[in-house]
Amino acid sequence: MNIAIDARFYGTGHTGLGRYTTNVLKYLPNHLPGQTLQVLLRDAAFDHFPSFNNVVKIHAEIPHYSLSEQLTLPKILKNIQADLLYTLHFNAPILSKIPKIVTVHDLIKSHFTGLDTTTHARWLYTLKRLGYNTVLSKTLSTASAIIVPTNTVKTDILSLFPQVVSRSIYAIPEAPDAVFRSPTTTSTTHNLPSKYILFVGNAYPHKNLDILLKAATNLKDYDLVIVAKRTPFLTKVLAPYDPSHIHVLSELDDKQLVTLYRHASVFVTPSLMEGYGLVGLESLMVGTPVVASNIPVYREVYGDKVSYFDPSSSCDLIEKIRLALKTKSKTFKFDRTWDDVAKDIAGVIHARSASL
């Protein structure tokens, strides 16, 4: 069977989606012996994709979420005679009649829809939302299987898209990267304050960074270190606050990030919605206590290993941070690896390909 894999997010240039794609495809071909995997790659990643006996690399220099994605990808899939398409995101070509296994990491864009969630002009944002809604609805309605990272996301899909059959959705948890399994790893990084609260993520509205900034102003003995890309969203959320005790770091490698986690007094993840929650797991693995917003997905992923706070209350966050600061450091071991993730995905592909 010819299985096409849309790996256009492959590489570090696409942040979370790129990391997910790269980690899965590092192992997936080994779990699909006897299958021909036709991996669609953009030019920048083409020469960097590892060699496997069952992999054929296909040039697919097509921008994500574009009209070309919808018009050109079906032609490529037809030309390479693909029998099945596996995508690592929801943006599948809806005009292609090839059976599809798709990945939906979250439905954040379905819930957070205001103009504060975009830097585009209203007309362009409206057009993009129309495209998103059309592609997502059609993809979920026609997919042979849907892979999600948590049961929370599965429940969300079934709530918003009642036409989707529950048994077609497979919850396959993600895994921390290998570097976080060695908490003694150290690396030089920027000059760090002696005591700090750590946030890792971006500044989109659903990340709820403003609640942490409010809380940090009342924790005078601790600085706040934010690891995020410098974007208009970050500039906007930081604007009302005194920058003297706020440190923004960008473009860190994994070893530098491990160092930041290890030396932080507490890690805070205040999101209003997520698909999974790797950042909290990474912190726990190196022994830094975690304070997380009390949302279903975090309850599912972290269980009783973290402290939870009301994401609408800076006072509650301050209280939980102060309690966490008194917590004795303890590292938690998470046995799940990206090889396990790839093996589980391969199981879905085997099951669906056998039914074709």
280-294 pLDDT, tens digit per residue, is 999 999 999 999 999
pTM of the model as a whole: 0.95
Mean pLDDT of the chain: 93
Contacts of 354 (CB under 8 A, 6+ apart): none
Q: Is 308 exposed, middle or buried (0-12, 13-18, 19+ CB in 10 A)?
A: middle
Element housing 268 (H / E): strand 266-269
pLDDT at 330: 83
pLDDT at 199: 98
The 10s digit of each residue's pLDDT in 47-73 is: 999 999 999 999 999 999 999 999 999
**Does residue 279 surpass a pLDDT of 60?**
yes
The 10s digit of each residue's pLDDT in 224-252 is: 999 999 999 999 999 999 999 999 999 88
Q: How far apart are CA 66 and CA 83, in angstroms?
A: 24
Contact 344/351 with Cβ under 8 angstroms? no
**Does residue 189 surpass a pLDDT of 80?**
no
Torsion of CA 167, 102, 140, 271, to 10 degrees: 90
Q: Which domains does the chain have, with CATH numbers?
A: 2-174+337-354 (3.40.50.2000), 178-325 (3.40.50.2000)
pLDDT at 190: 59
